[in-house]
A and B are shown apart, each in its own frame.
Chain A
């Protein structure tokens, strides 16, 4: 079953003075539950934009790029429920409770300790007090940082910071983890570590992982690679990683509305 399914996803950024960038040109995508998928492509290919829409950080465009040329309305489903028209509060709630996020620049709150950073996610998901502390410490131990819980981000190495970010993304045991270039700022040794962590959660908890990457090695470690170029999905391929589910249904690349 598809946990995330999108159709006719478009996004145009207006940079002012009539200058606009069509980051995403009508994309159809389907991510199966339990899959670990890499979205790859050169800079500007729309891969981050796609991830932001799948992660409910941005809504897809309803307006058509050319007003004189009608286009189908975008659709987005999370585990079968339509999420394309829900309110900002509902999106926020889904992000807090059902999704985990990992970013390239680690993106921890600098004034908070590792533990507090992880607990922030618990707090937003509605877990408080002792329960949150236990969950946060468990998550930190899982990423091998139980002993660094009281350290601030500035006192941790890049690899350690990214592991804290992963602990934060996983502490609420979300259905989906979305990672934007999670290994982009790490050397190959630490990249492998991070990837192994994401993979182990994917295997052990059946968690769906969607990651955006430049790195072909990272892509090949995933179940499936979605290649993007110029705002379109170019093709799908299977990585070297072993799928843990049924064969993934191939979604046809949508041609430009030429």
Chain B
């Protein structure tokens, strides 16, 4: 309480210092929450790719992409050494105009439910309804949680995906990564949707039941993903792209590193600005209280007591600023998430860890900044301090 009273003695200065740190902490909270979301996304992808290889031709994001043929390519892959199972899939954008979103776009994912032969390790749970089975064909869909929320759909509803009606049979539990924004449909339904996206000239020439955008390959026990990739590349030739977990990590690791760098930069900046302004505030408050420190020393306060008093006050500035910064940051991320939810852009994930780190960081910053003036105060000559006007 005494601490707060001492801070209250210089309201304007304390307020300004607290605001300075609070802004830094707010930025830390907002960017930290964004990084949480990104990292969850990347971790999810990394986990998904960990035990498999995905074969495609070209890159679907750059337009050089070509469909694979089930009758030719799939059969060839199944015969490659080390392959335990290979299953075709169709991955396509839900909306063609959604290329500029942050994070992952909404996707339609067509697959053969038992195509993995039980080898899939990435766990996806159903929150409502049921998962697709091998008996499902045609226009039924299981929606990711974010997509379901955006479409305001629940089990039993009908949703329109790419101008085609689908019956919702299940909704996924949150995975924090790509499937949250996916509509999972049987392969045959996705094939039909995919053919319609091809130029009219091509549409007639393609057998819809024979195409896939990717083939997921599972390896036999004892075969490493790197071996599998080497075997596949040797068998298929250069026109195919084979992606394994390591490739994914390399691709997105850079992205994640840049993000961490930005976050660290903001933390350092707030450290510098907040720390210096706290040192300034505390140094001035020590100068103003020179006499008071002299009295306290004279009547028996040890140097350690004087230091502790100033460091605690400084830490209190940090704690208050951290709490305010966290509160503003929490409000901001909540508001942004609510605004973005309708368009499927939930970009922030404020975790307990981020919140605790931000407040602890601010408090520690305050305490460390207090050490400098505290040291000076504790070395003052009590008699000289008593005479100070």
Interfacial residues, chain A to chain B (CB-CB below 8 A): 52, 55, 57-58, 88-89, 92-93, 95-97, 99-101, 103, 107-112, 116, 120-121, 124-125, 168-169
Residues of A within 8 Å of B296, CB to CB, are 109, 120, 124
Query: Contacts A57-B383, A103-B386 given: A109-B303 contact, CB under 8 Å?
Result: no
Cβ contacts A to B, 14 pairs, < 8 Å: A55-B298, A57-B298, A57-B382, A57-B383, A103-B295, A103-B298, A103-B386, A109-B292, A109-B296, A110-B292, A120-B296, A120-B301, A124-B305, A168-B299
Query: Contacts A92-B300, A168-B299 given: A111-B6 contact, CB under 8 Å?
Result: yes
Residues of A within 8 Å of B302, CB to CB, are 89, 92-93, 124
B287 CB, min distance to chain A CBs, angstroms: 15
Contact of B299 among A88, A93, A120 (CB under 8 A): A120
* Closest residue on chain A to residue B294 by CB atoms: A107
In contact, B303 and A88 (Cβ under 8 angstroms): yes
- 9 further A-B contacts with Cβ under 8 Å, apart from A57-B298, A120-B299, are A58-B383, A92-B303, A100-B299, A109-B295, A111-B9, A112-B2, A121-B299, A121-B300, A124-B300
Q: Is B229 an interface residue (CB 8 A)?
A: no
Nearest 9 Cβ contacts at the A-B interface: A96-B300, A124-B300, A95-B300, A107-B295, A92-B302, A111-B5, A57-B383, A52-B383, A101-B298
Count A-B contacts at CB 8 Å. 61
In contact, B300 and A97 (Cβ under 8 angstroms): yes
Q: Is B291 an interface residue (CB 8 A)?
A: yes
Within 8 A of A (CB), among B127-144: none
* Closest residue on chain A to residue B297 by CB atoms: A92
User: Could you mark each residue 295-327 of chain B with 1 if its beta carbon is under 8 Å from any beta carbon of chain A, else 0?
Assistant: 111111111010000000000000000000000
Report the separation of the CA atoms of residues A110 and B2 in the bound assembly, to the nearest whole angstrom: 12
Residues of A within 8 Å of B301, CB to CB, are 92, 96, 120, 124
Residues of B within 8 Å of A52, CB to CB, are 383
Report the separation of the CA atoms of residues A55 and B294 in the bound assembly, to the nearest whole angstrom: 14
In contact, A93 and B300 (Cβ under 8 angstroms): yes
Report the separation of the CA atoms of residues A125 and B295 in the bound assembly, to the nearest whole angstrom: 15
Residues of A within 8 Å of B382, CB to CB, are 57
Report the separation of the CA atoms of residues A108 and B296 in the bound assembly, to the nearest whole angstrom: 9
In contact, B2 and A111 (Cβ under 8 angstroms): yes
Residues of A within 8 Å of B303, CB to CB, are 88-89, 92
Residues of A within 8 Å of B9, CB to CB, are 111
A117 CB, min distance to chain B CBs, angstroms: 9
A220 CB, min distance to chain B CBs, angstroms: 27
Interfacial residues, chain B to chain A (CB-CB below 8 A): 2, 5-6, 9, 291-292, 294-303, 305, 381-383, 386
Residues of A within 8 Å of B295, CB to CB, are 103, 107-109
Report the separation of the CA atoms of residues A88 and B304 in the bound assembly, to the nearest whole angstrom: 11
Contact of A124 among B2, B291, B299 (CB under 8 A): B299
In contact, A107 and B386 (Cβ under 8 angstroms): yes
Interface centre among A52, A101, A109, A112 (most CB of B within 10 A): A109
Interface centre among B294, B301, B303, B381 (most CB of A within 10 A): B301
In contact, B299 and A96 (Cβ under 8 angstroms): yes
Residues of B within 8 Å of A107, CB to CB, are 291, 294-295, 298, 386
Residues of B within 8 Å of A88, CB to CB, are 303
Report the separation of the CA atoms of residues A217 and B89 in the bound assembly, to the nearest whole angstrom: 106
Residues of B within 8 Å of A112, CB to CB, are 2
Residues of B within 8 Å of A103, CB to CB, are 295, 298, 386
B304 CB, min distance to chain A CBs, angstroms: 8
Residues of A within 8 Å of B383, CB to CB, are 52, 57-58
Report the separation of the CA atoms of residues A169 and B291 in the bound assembly, to the nearest whole angstrom: 17
Residues of B within 8 Å of A169, CB to CB, are 299
Residues of A within 8 Å of B292, CB to CB, are 109-110
Report the separation of the CA atoms of residues A19 and B291 in the bound assembly, to the nearest whole angstrom: 25
In contact, B2 and A95 (Cβ under 8 angstroms): no
Report the separation of the CA atoms of residues A99 and B300 in the bound assembly, to the nearest whole angstrom: 9
A152 CB, min distance to chain B CBs, angstroms: 10
Report the separation of the CA atoms of residues A3 and B198 in the bound assembly, to the nearest whole angstrom: 106
Report the separation of the CA atoms of residues A97 and B292 in the bound assembly, to the nearest whole angstrom: 19
* Closest residue on chain B to residue A107 by CB atoms: B295
* Closest residue on chain B to residue A116 by CB atoms: B2
In contact, B5 and A101 (Cβ under 8 angstroms): no
Report the separation of the CA atoms of residues A78 and B140 in the bound assembly, to the nearest whole angstrom: 96
Residues of B within 8 Å of A121, CB to CB, are 299-300
* Closest residue on chain A to residue B293 by CB atoms: A109
Residues of B within 8 Å of A120, CB to CB, are 296, 299, 301
In contact, B299 and A95 (Cβ under 8 angstroms): yes
B282 CB, min distance to chain A CBs, angstroms: 16
Contact of A101 among B2, B6, B291, B299 (CB under 8 A): B299
Report the separation of the CA atoms of residues A140 and B297 in the bound assembly, to the nearest whole angstrom: 22
* Closest residue on chain B to residue A180 by CB atoms: B386
* Closest residue on chain B to residue A92 by CB atoms: B302
Residues of B within 8 Å of A100, CB to CB, are 299
* Closest residue on chain A to residue B381 by CB atoms: A58
Interface centre among B5, B305, B383 (most CB of A within 10 A): B383
Report the separation of the CA atoms of residues A109 and B292 in the bound assembly, to the nearest whole angstrom: 6
Report the separation of the CA atoms of residues A110 and B292 in the bound assembly, to the nearest whole angstrom: 8
